[in-house]
Structure 1
Amino acid sequence: MAGKFYKRLLAGAVVFLALLLAGCGVEIQVSTPSRGGEAGGNLKVHFIDVGQGDSTLIEQDGHFMLIDAGERDQGEVVVSYLKKQGVKKLDYVIGTHPHSDHIGGMAEVLRAFDIGRVIMPEKEHTIRTYEKLLDEIAAQNLKITLPKVGDTYELGDSSFQIIAPVRDYGDNLNNWSVGIRLTYGETGFVFCGDAEKEAEGDIVSSGLTLKADVLKISHHGSSTSSSSKFMDLVDPDYGVISCGKNNDYGHPHKEIRAMLKERNIKSFRTDELGTIVAASDGKSVTFPGQETGDSAPSEAESQDYVFNTNTKKFHFPDCKSATSMKKENRKTYTGTREDVIKMGYEPCQICNP
């Protein structure tokens, strides 16, 4: 009883002191302890399959960030995927650089969700896709935050630091890419858009910590990126490559595939696996259902599908594309996703990404 009395007495004294100081014009702020890396649940990083482009969703404890949004025709794909993950607000949207395969679908994303902060480099482009994005940013009364190397932002119990662009790169849009290092507990992820070797050299020279468990391989696996010194400092266990199936650029290039193998970096590719999800508990990173590079377990389950024999795409029966399909192009099938793909059909990127 005495212990409770003294606790109440102490609490009363604190309140009295606060009121007294407030009366003297002194502002009192009561802070709560940081919850640390374990309290808010896992961090998840979704490398969304947008074909030959980039789009990554990061979530932690109900907070979300999107890096890029693929080509313009992928805007609906990205929005649909985000809604399936329960996204209503994006704390941050990062447009790494003004190439259409990174910012093409972003205007549609801005229209679909509440947006906290938009981060883009101070490099303009004359393509209509970029101009439309700027128009949408203005229409939503949003402001662009310019990336400053070293600046750090919080996302739930995780945080990320800006690591690029380090300087002015003239007309090389790839090197203007916004780069970040995301950390959660003891784990880290690095994303650098399409940054090439010149920009990577500047990132290395900046002296910032780059070590990470996962590296989103820059420029879709092009040999113009992933320089030796940069890879030495990041030293990832896993690499994720976002590229389109049978793309015209030959991504990922054989030099990059060989480099990843030589460094014993386990790689995952969206052109082979579709959307890839990595999870961190603050101590280690896993790729649920994909640790062996195999497709997700759902691919082995029988489903009802509707084929479009004209477009060579397959859909779930309730997909709007399936319900509006011409009768002469419509074909139904029950089997596994893997079997359907082997038959030469590609998944609908809206109902079955």
Structure 2
Amino acid sequence: MLLSGCGISIEGTVGGEALNNSSNSPGVTSTSELRVIFLDVGQGASQLIISPSGKTMLIDAGNNSQEQAMIQYLHKYGVNRLDIVIGTHPDADHIGGLDRVIRNMDIGEVYMPKVTSNTQTFKSVLEAIRSKGLKVKTAKAGLELKFDDKVQVRMLAPVKPAEDNNNMSAVAKVTYGNTSYLLTGDAERDSEKEMIASGANLQADVLLVGHHGSKSSTSERFLNAVNPKYTVIQVGENSYGHPTKLILDRLAKHHTKIYRNDRQGTVEIASDGEKYKITTER
């Protein structure tokens, strides 16, 4: 399951030794592992999740310029069908590649928050969904998605409507055995406050840092609630100053191990339900 030409970093958590290194070919097969792959799509975001039984879920698909790269990634991992597709919110750097993905793959269910945009990117995604005879299901807090019998996927946000698209981001917590991942899209402090107030269990071993490491996200209170061991920042070359020093310092203070697409390429964090195996592209 290791990426070709990868540098390998192996970490053990949840009270055990790290998983043994392996070199299985990429592909969707039944294994004992949950694979969460943070794809390197430059200044954008996309996560591919492959369950132990071979079920697949894609959350976001990078910017418009990443359409072909997304198709190549899916082929690389042996994905011909996506059981679940989630577009976290209408920003182009998250859903830009989704129209191409939807048109070229067998798709099960599509989830997006109840928010609209007048951009051509958003319209293209909706047209692709309609062209496959699919309907968009509303992503919102409290939903539990049917994915894999052994893997729980629960939506934690948006908790309530917000004017800002980022704070309407779909946030999903993925739990497998004693391991967990919190995937946050571009959720900012207001959404983080709502998630905390909702009483949801936010603790997760792996945190996708909100909004590419912007200072608008990953508040101290939210980070305390999640208490992650590992954090991933999906970021590429940009003029926004992402990730900000404020957030990097905050993560360092919490002693999390930080992974970044701009420095390490695609990052895969696999779990057997007790321990993690972490693989980086470089």
Same fold (TM over 0.5): yes
Q: Output aligned runs, 1:311-322, within 5 Å.
A: none
**Contact conserved, 1:44 with 1:59, CA < 8 A, in 2?**
yes
Deviations 1:107-155 (A, max 9, x none): 0000111111000010000111101111111111111010231121232
Q: Distance in 2 between matches of 1:113 and 1:197?
A: 35
**Contact conserved, 1:213 with 1:285, CA < 8 A, in 2?**
no
Bigger-Rg structure (1/2): 1
- The reply on whether 1:124 has 2:113 as its aligned counterpart is no
- Aligned twin of 1:25: none
**Contact conserved, 1:210 with 1:234, CA < 8 A, in 2?**
yes
- Aligned twin of 2:27: none
- Aligned twin of 1:277: 268
Q: Distance in 1 between matches of 2:235 and 2:106?
A: 28
2:155 maps to amino acid: I
- The reply on whether 1:114 has 2:106 as its aligned counterpart is yes
Which residue, 114, 126, 134 being the options, matches 2:126? 134
Which residue, 154, 158, 166 being the options, matches 2:159? 166
**Contact conserved, 2:140 with 2:170, CA < 8 A, in 1?**
no
Q: Higher helix share goes to which structure?
A: 1
Identity %, equivalent residues? 41
Q: Taking CA–CA contacts closer than 8 Å with sequence separation of 6 or more, which of the two structures ends up with the larger relative contact order? A: 2
- Aligned twin of 2:43: 52
Q: Distance in 2 between matches of 1:219 and 1:50?
A: 14
- Aligned twin of 2:89: 97
- After TM superposition, give the deviation of residue 40 of structure 1 in Å: 4.6
- Aligned twin of 1:208: 200
Q: Distance in 2 between matches of 1:155 and 1:185?
A: 15
Aligned pairs, number: 251
Q: Output aligned runs, 1:325-344, within 5 Å.
A: none
SS in 1 for 2:154: strand
**Contact conserved, 2:158 with 2:167, CA < 8 A, in 1?**
yes
- Consecutive unaligned residues of structure 2, counting only runs of 5 or more, are 1-29
**Contact conserved, 2:235 with 2:260, CA < 8 A, in 1?**
yes
**Contact conserved, 1:179 with 1:191, CA < 8 A, in 2?**
yes
2:267 maps to amino acid: I
Q: Distance in 2 between matches of 1:57 and 1:220?
A: 17
Q: Distance in 1 between matches of 2:140 and 2:90?
A: 17
1:251 maps to amino acid: H
Q: Distance in 1 between matches of 2:276 and 2:181?
A: 10
Q: Distance in 2 between matches of 1:40 and 1:78?
A: 24
Q: Distance in 1 between matches of 2:223 and 2:126?
A: 34
**Contact conserved, 1:46 with 1:58, CA < 8 A, in 2?**
yes
**Contact conserved, 2:220 with 2:250, CA < 8 A, in 1?**
no
- Aligned twin of 2:229: 237
- Aligned twin of 1:253: 244
- Consecutive unaligned residues of structure 1, counting only runs of 5 or more, are 1-38, 297-353
Q: Which runs of 4+ in 1 moved over 3 A?
A: none
SS in 1 for 2:90: coil
CA RMSD of aligned residues (A): 1.1
Which residue, 222, 236, 252 being the options, matches 2:214? 222
- The reply on whether 1:181 has 2:173 as its aligned counterpart is yes
- After TM superposition, give the deviation of residue 285 of structure 1 in Å: 2.0
The two structures have a TM-score, normalised by structure 2, of 0.87
